[in-house]
Amino acid sequence: MRRHLSADLTAAITSPVEATLGVTVADGVATEQERFTATLDGDPVDVQDVLDEASGTRWHVVRDVPPGELAVSYAATVTDGGAAAPVTPLDRIHYVRPSRYVDLDRLEAVARAEVGDVAGEQGVLDVADWVHEHLRYVIGSSTVTDGASDTYLSRTGVCRDFAHLTLALLRARGIPARLVACYAPGLSPMDFHAVVEAAVDDRWVVVDPTRLAPRTSLVRISAGADASETSFLTVHSGGMTFKGLQVTATAEGDLPGDDHRGTVSIA
């Protein structure tokens, strides 16, 4: 399946900035053509490419960017959405622990009561189903500081909130799970999307508790413990005023169907 992807970001730099961008497709995704540019007031900005070999994430770091208007533009045509590497022993340690937005220690009793014992593909699907049935997708209902326990109490959120609660319930029942940021043809409203990969035996399977896009159309960008490890923009120092982001993701031909009843892997 050929997919056409783009992301255009603008920001006003008010004092020299160091920042990390995560908008390109992951290492291993098959691209027919790809373009990434970063400019300040129209002039090229030096960018350092950094590869996270464990997750395949390709980060782009800019440093000492002076005041002006920063514009980042990315476009790619892909034929393969980027399959995950097998689950490693380190994954089984890292992805069952609490993380910044996955405060599973506050939700362990909830997990026992609401989802009970979780095992195998069906257990992972059951947790995603529970989150889908108990949360409402409401744009603007959460803040960037909300974690899984906040989402559980409010019962509303957007894709990252659905993902964080799913991660917390899975990890609380001993299932390694991580967040995957991706391009998602068919998503409405269009944006970057967040889904969950859970470890079943030695492979990662994808569930999307929002059910807003077919999983087999997804294209991997990054993977990590939660949104703090997969952010499309992280400012480390300096001053920046974010101005806008436009994301597009389309597939040639008809989108595949997805009843979200079975497990799939991004490919």
Return the percentage of the chain with pLDDT > 70, whole number: 100
Residue 157 has pLDDT above 90, yes or no: yes
- Following DSSP, what letter does each residue of 21-61 receive, concatenated? E--SPPTT--EEEEEEEEEETTEE---EEEEETTTTEEEEE
Q: Does 237 lie in the same domain as 223?
A: no
Q: pLDDT value at position 166?
A: 98
Residue 263 lies inside a defined structural domain of this protein: no
Q: pLDDT value at position 103?
A: 96
- pLDDT tens per residue, range 66-120: 999 999 999 999 998 777 788 999 999 999 999 999 999 999 999 999 888 888 8
Average pLDDT, the chain: 95
Q: pLDDT value at position 136?
A: 97
Residue 109 lies inside a defined structural domain of this protein: yes
Q: Does 133 lie in the same domain as 63?
A: no
Q: pLDDT value at position 80?
A: 81
Residue 266 lies inside a defined structural domain of this protein: no
Sorted by sequence, the CB contacts under 8 Å of residue 113 that are 6+ apart come out as none
Full domain range(s) for residue 118: 89-229
Q: Which residue has the tokens 């970001």?
A: 9
Q: Does 47 lie in the same domain as 20?
A: yes
Residue 262 lies inside a defined structural domain of this protein: no
Q: Does 163 lie in the same domain as 137?
A: yes
Residue 194 lies inside a defined structural domain of this protein: yes
Residue 267 lies inside a defined structural domain of this protein: no
Q: Does 211 lie in the same domain as 112?
A: yes
Residue 50 has pLDDT above 90, yes or no: yes
- pLDDT tens per residue, range 202-243: 999 999 999 999 999 999 999 999 999 999 999 999 999 999
- For residues 39-63, give the mean pLDDT: 96
Q: Which residue has the tokens 């993701």?
A: 249
Residue 111 lies inside a defined structural domain of this protein: yes
- pLDDT tens per residue, range 120-155: 899 999 999 999 999 999 999 999 999 999 999 999
Q: Does 22 lie in the same domain as 141?
A: no
Confidence band, pLDDT 50/70/90 cuts, at residue 267? low
- Work out the angle between the directed axes of helices 159-172 and 120-134 (0-180°, nearest 10): 140
- pLDDT tens per residue, range 182-194: 999 999 999 999 9
Enumerate the β-bridge partners of residue 200.
Answer: 203
Enumerate the β-bridge partners of residue 233.
Answer: 21
Separation of alpha carbons 171 and 166, rounded Å: 9
Q: Does 218 lie in the same domain as 101?
A: yes
Answer whether 76's CB lies under 8 Å from 8's CB.
Answer: no
Number of domains in the chain: 2
Residue 265 has pLDDT above 90, yes or no: no
**More confident position, 116 or 158:** 158
**Angle at the Cα of 19 (from 15 to 24), degrees rounded to 5?**
140
Q: pLDDT value at position 152?
A: 96
For the domain that residue 142 is a member of, what is the CATH number?
A: 3.10.620.30
Q: Does 200 lie in the same domain as 187?
A: yes
In the 8-state DSSP scheme, what is residue 111?
Answer: H
For the domain that residue 55 is a member of, what is the CATH number?
A: 2.60.40.2250
